[in-house]
């Protein structure tokens, strides 16, 4: 432990702690812009400057380690003036169209300007005019709003190991870009959107599809069906000022009905179908000598990452479509036939925690009955905007319910939103099938938690099944290399593209860097997911009566010929660096 003084307050912290971390532990706020815990700690923006007794110059608190007897001042006249000048210089060549910016009132630069009392810009900087890169189906990049904090670059390169973007050029003409100034749509970007949630300003955002949804709802010739992913219910409330991880399942269903959708459904029901198909596929591969490990395919960012970086292992991926794509296929086949609807007159809208789903819905491999399984995918943030546009008082909204015939789901389906959830949900069903029993011990805690990689071995009916779970593409890369090189062997592997899984997907509510220093967002939202699982009457996918009925009436059995036509897909090997 190290003893120091911050603003004449005695503070004791572990050795290796930075001044920034020590100050936060002492409830002293030091402003930051480039800093993002565990992602970007480089001292580049100079907003966190502090004065150290005996030091000649001000120091960046985010990278300066504490030392015994250190005396730090975070609020001296010298510090305040340095921060204000730094902020004004950043603002001098920033596109200050705040009222029309996607991050208005949720912008770290805007908030700092208020906190530091910047009421006028003393410096008139040159404003280079960058073209907006909006060719990607998922992400819009606007360098006119970029402050060169490098948080997006760090998360893309160091956390996700994709490296689609980097800082180009030097000096005043430095900017974030792709190789050879190409669009994100032309390089190996996997559309995960982690760059968006890392950005402190509005330089990165999802490609918005709100107007397309409103147009579909207003079109009387269309039957508009909406579905919501499990992770959305533990983030949507944050768009309305509710605490992180608040479960708003009932309010969400009621709000969607208030928006005018013809059918409001839960993607969780489709997640139960995914378990039936993927679990059966796993059993068939184990019993028939198929290619192992079986690797999950629910995360479109992960699937595209695999296509770029491990094309030789695409046969290991489950051929099962992701839950919302399965749902779309069933809506445009089973539901359409039951209700005498032409699939071409049905518009399926997915509300997802994920920006990569926008890319996924456009994949030509994901189309049944000659039309896309899902027509439009919007993020949690976009749904929040729609609810606000409609004037719905979300916080005080009475709980509603999802519509029949897809109103029933299980606890196994809801945990899809957290890393390890798909694995656990599959094990609940596979264990019952292998033992022929209705097992009571259904919680597999070894695959829970937010560690980047988790491994376990379970024995079911005398069979040992080796498991691995990875979340975040950097961890996925490491695990895949271990498997590819023969250094690790598993029967079943779950991979989610985003750190923490879908609960912290690229389309979820944005949490600022200051909050992330003290709140483990992925753990808080995951806890809410598991709490909902515990509250469910049915907690195993194969026990879902809706799922059982549709197999009996329509699909036959899991992995049947008809199920394969509707609920399975294939993948495409891609260039390592280009789309």
Question: How far apart (Å, rounded) are the C-alpha atoms in residues 427 and 369?
Answer: 32
pLDDT score for 463? 86
Number of Cβ within a 10 Å radius of residue 370: 8
Question: How far apart (Å, rounded) are the C-alpha atoms in residues 150 and 297?
Answer: 30
Which CATH number does the domain 98-117+133-206 belong to among 3.30.360.10, 3.30.1370.60, 3.30.70.20, 3.40.50.620? Answer: 3.30.70.20
Tokens of 526: 């995951």
Question: How far apart (Å, rounded) are the C-alpha atoms in residues 400 and 531?
Answer: 19
pLDDT score for 143? 95
Low-confidence stretches of the chain (pLDDT beneath 50): none
Phi-psi region of 358 (alpha: psi -120 to 50; beta: other; left: phi over 0): alpha
Q: pLDDT exceeding 70 applies to what percent of the chain?
A: 100
Number of Cβ within a 10 Å radius of residue 118: 17
Q: What is the pLDDT of residues 255-311, one digit of tens each?
A: 999 999 999 999 999 999 999 999 999 999 999 999 999 999 999 999 999 999 999
pLDDT score for 450? 93
pLDDT score for 462? 86
Provide CB contacts within 8 A for 243, sequence distance 6+: 237
Q: H helices of 371-520, where?
A: 380-389, 411-414, 421-435, 473-484, 513-518
Architecture of the domain defined by 210-390+400-567: 3-Layer(aba) Sandwich (3.40)
Identify any residues that bridge with 4 across adjacent strands, giving them in sequence order.
11
Does the domain at 2-92 match CATH 1.10.630.10? Answer given as no
Count each helix (H run) and each strand (E run) in the chain, helices first: 20, 19
Which residues form the catalytic set? 278, 281, 298, 318, 357, 360, 365, 502
Sheet containing strand 263-266, strands side by side: 263-266, 223-228, 346-352, 376-379
pLDDT score for 407? 87
Are the CB atoms for 456 and 494 separated by under 8 Å? no
Of 509, 505, 535, 522, nearest in space to 249 by CA: 535
Q: Any idea where the domains of the chain sit in the sequence?
A: 2-92, 98-117+133-206, 210-390+400-567
pLDDT score for 224? 98
Instruction: From residue 512, give the alpha-carbon distance in Å to each of 154, 401, 520.
Output: 16, 32, 12
SS (H, E, C) 206-252: ECCCHHHHHHHHHCCCCEEEEEECHHHHHCHHHHHCCCCCCCCHHHH
Instruction: From residue 75, give the alpha-carbon distance in Å to each of 5, 7, 31, 120.
Output: 13, 8, 11, 21
Question: How far apart (Å, rounded) are the C-alpha atoms in residues 2 and 25?
Answer: 13
pLDDT score for 370? 81
Give exposure, 493-506, as e/b (b: 16+ Cβ within 10 Å).
bbbbbbbbbbbbbb
Strand, helix or coil for residue 90: helix
Tokens of 172: 């005043």
For the chain, the first-to-last Cα distance in angstroms comes to 50
């Amino acid at each position: 432990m190290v003893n120091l003084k911050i603003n004449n307050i005695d503070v004791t912290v572990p050795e290796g702690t930075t001044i920034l971390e020590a100050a936060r532990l002492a409830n002293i706020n030091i402003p930051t812009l480039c800093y993002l815990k565990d992602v970007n700690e480089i001292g580049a923006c100079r907003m966190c400057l502090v004065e150290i007794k005996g030091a000649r110059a001000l120091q960046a608190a985010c990278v300066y380690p504490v030392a015994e007897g250190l005396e730090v001042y975070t609020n001296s006249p010298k510090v305040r003036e340095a921060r204000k000048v730094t902020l004004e210089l950043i603002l001098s060549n920033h596109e200050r169209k705040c009222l029309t910016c996607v991050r208005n009132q949720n912008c770290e630069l805007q908030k700092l300007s208020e906190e530091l009392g910047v009421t006028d810009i003393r410096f008139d900087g040159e404003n280079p005019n960058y073209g907006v890169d909006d060719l990607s189906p998922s992400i819009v990049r606007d360098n006119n709003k970029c402050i060169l904090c490098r948080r997006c670059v760090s998360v893309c390169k160091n956390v996700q190991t994709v490296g689609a973007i980097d800082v180009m050029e030097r000096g005043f003409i430095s900017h974030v870009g792709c190789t050879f100034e190409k669009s994100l749509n032309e390089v190996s970007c996997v559309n995960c959107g982690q760059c968006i949630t890392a950005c402190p300003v509005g330089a990165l955002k999802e490609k918005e599809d709100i107007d397309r949804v409103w147009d579909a709802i207003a079109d009387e010739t269309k039957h508009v069906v909406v579905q919501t992913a499990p992770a959305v219910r533990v983030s949507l409330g944050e768009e309305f000022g509710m605490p992180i991880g608040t479960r708003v399942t009932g309010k969400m269903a009621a709000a969607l009905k208030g928006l005018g959708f013809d059918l409001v459904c839960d993607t969780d029901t489709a997640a139960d179908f995914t378990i039936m198909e993927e679990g059966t596929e796993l059993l068939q591969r184990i019993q028939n000598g198929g290619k192992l490990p079986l690797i999950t395919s629910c995360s479109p960012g992960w699937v595209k990452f695999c296509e770029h970086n491990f094309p030789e292992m695409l046969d290991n991926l489950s051929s099962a479509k992701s839950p919302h794509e399965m749902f779309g296929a069933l809506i445009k086949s089973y539901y359409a036939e039951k209700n005498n609807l032409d699939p071409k007159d049905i518009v399926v809208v997915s509300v997802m925690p994920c920006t990569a789903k926008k890319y996924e819905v456009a994949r030509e491999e994901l189309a049944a009955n000659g039309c896309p399984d899902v027509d439009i995918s919007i993020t949690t943030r976009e749904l929040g905007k729609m609810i606000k546009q409609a004037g719905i008082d979300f916080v005080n909204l009475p709980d509603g319910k999802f519509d029949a015939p897809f109103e029933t789901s299980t606890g196994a389906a809801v945990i899809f939103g957290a890393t390890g959830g798909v694995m656990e949900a599959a094990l609940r069903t596979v264990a019952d099938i292998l033992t022929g029993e209705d097992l009571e011990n259904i919680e597999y805690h070894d695959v829970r938690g937010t560690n980047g990689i988790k491994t376990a071995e379970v024995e079911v009916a005398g069979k040992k099944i080796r498991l691995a779970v990875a979340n975040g593409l950097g961890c996925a890369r490491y695990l895949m290399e271990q498997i590819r090189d023969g250094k690790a062997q598993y029967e079943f592997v779950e991979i989610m593209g985003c750190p923490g899984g879908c609960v912290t997907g690229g389309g979820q509510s944005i949490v600022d860097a200051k909050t992330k220093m003290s709140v483990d967002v992925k753990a808080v939202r995951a806890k809410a997911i598991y709490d909902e699982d515990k509250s469910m009457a049915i907690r195993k996918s194969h026990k879902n009566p809706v799922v059982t009925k549709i197999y009996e009436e329509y699909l036959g059995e899991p992995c049947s010929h008809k199920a394969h036509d509707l609920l399975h897909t294939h993948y495409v090997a891609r260039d390592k660096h280009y789309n």
